[in-house]
Amino acid sequence: MMLHTRLCDVLGVESPILVAPMGFVTGPELAAAVSEAGGFGILSGGVNPPPVLRQDIRRIRELTQKPFAVNLLLQFPQEENIAVCIEEKVAAISFYWGDPSPYVERIHAAGIKVIDQVGTVEAAVRAARVGVDVIIAQGFEAGGHVAGRVAMSVFVPRVVDAVSPVPVAAAGGIADARGVVAALALGAEGVVLGTRFLVSPEAAAHPTYKERVLAATEEDTTHTILFGLGWSHSPHRVLSTAFVKKWVKEEQNTQEPRPDGQVIGETRVAGQVIPVQQFMSLPPSIDASGDIDSMALYAGQTSGLVNEVKPAGEIVRELVEGASQIIQQRLNGLVAESISSQSTSGR
């Protein structure tokens, strides 16, 4: 079965299924697996230095010949990484947490598409005005860093109406075929999933991190600014671990400063082993060690729908096939029954 939208034509892919560029989780293996299955992989370029980013891009190309994007966080300087993406001729560059306006013309001149993820209608309109090719509308349910405060079911149609005819992909609150169909009904041309892919074998999340997501329900996340060390004043959604519950409560009840600086483990970033401090914004990757449960376990409210491990490619195929079946069988059946009832009553 196929599920094809305008977004597929813009990005040159078979299916409108995108993987969220989760920091230190969506590495080359996960991005490549999603693209190879017909979806669209988005590599987390995050805070990687240019040589590491180039290495990751080339690793993806060893794994797939399909199109993919690189995500860059505009909270941090990205000039050199943009240059790397242009030199490596990636299919698209995805931006988040900032204004992509200064870069769009330069990227388009290189024949590369531009994607911008937004959390407000104002940001979406700005992106459309400067010629962004695809806009990702992120709902409040999403895991990781969250730029807005509106649920996906309200935010997506607002963005779709505001930026038409620019194709919009929905993010946040989607974990299965039902969510895909719902997003399409809201006017989205594609969907972005993070938490669902986080527990796949290709995801670079720490095994304990994956276990916690699999065990969580839709009520086991917290929207907070707790993990702001390294990325301050940035709201995010994480699993409600004992550590999170304690410190969110402490922040609400006391004015005393947090004990920032306490080392709780270590991880590897760009090939270098670094200490992980309490409240650091880095999630635990497969290279992390120490007190994993006290680190930033980013996850969305769809944790309640994520209860089994499957390869990323299988997830993509199930989403496409499941959504197609819902549209063709259940929804078409509802329309047919309605028409039949009207015809019968008119006799």
Q: What is the pLDDT of residue 257?
A: 66
Q: Which of 176, 142, 184, 191 is nearest to 306 (CA)?
A: 176
pLDDT above 70: residue 254: no
* pTM (global) more than 0.85: yes
The residue-averaged pLDDT of 91-96 equals 99
The radius of gyration of the chain from alpha carbons, rounded to an integer in Å, stands at 20
Least confident of 9-18, 40-49, 320-329, 333-342: 333-342
Q: What is the pLDDT of residue 346?
A: 55
pLDDT, tens only, 190-246: 999 999 999 999 999 999 999 999 999 999 999 999 999 999 989 999 999 999 999
Q: What is the predicted pLDDT for the residue at 326?
A: 96
Full DSSP string of 281-314? S---BTT-EE-GGGS--B--GGGGG--S---HHH
Q: What is the pLDDT of residues 109-160, one digit of tens each?
A: 999 999 999 999 999 999 999 999 999 999 999 999 999 999 999 999 999 9
The yes-or-no verdict on residue 340 having pLDDT over 80 is no
pLDDT given at position 36: 99
Average pLDDT, the chain: 95
The total of other beta-carbon atoms located within 10 Å of residue 259's CB is: 10
Strand partners, 298: 238
C-alpha angle with apex 104: 102 to 110, nearest 5 degrees?
125
Q: Is the pLDDT of residue 174 over 80?
A: yes
Q: Nearest to residue 136, comparing CAs of 110, 174, 105, 108? A: 174
Q: Would you place residue 342 in the very low, low, confident or very high pLDDT band (cuts 50, 70, 90)?
A: low
Domains with residue ranges and CATH for the chain: 6-203 (3.20.20.70), 207-303 (no CATH)
Share of the chain above pLDDT 90, in %: 88
pLDDT recorded at residue 50: 96
pLDDT score for 250: 78
Taking only the tens place, the pLDDT of each residue in 97-118 is: 999 999 999 999 999 999 999 9
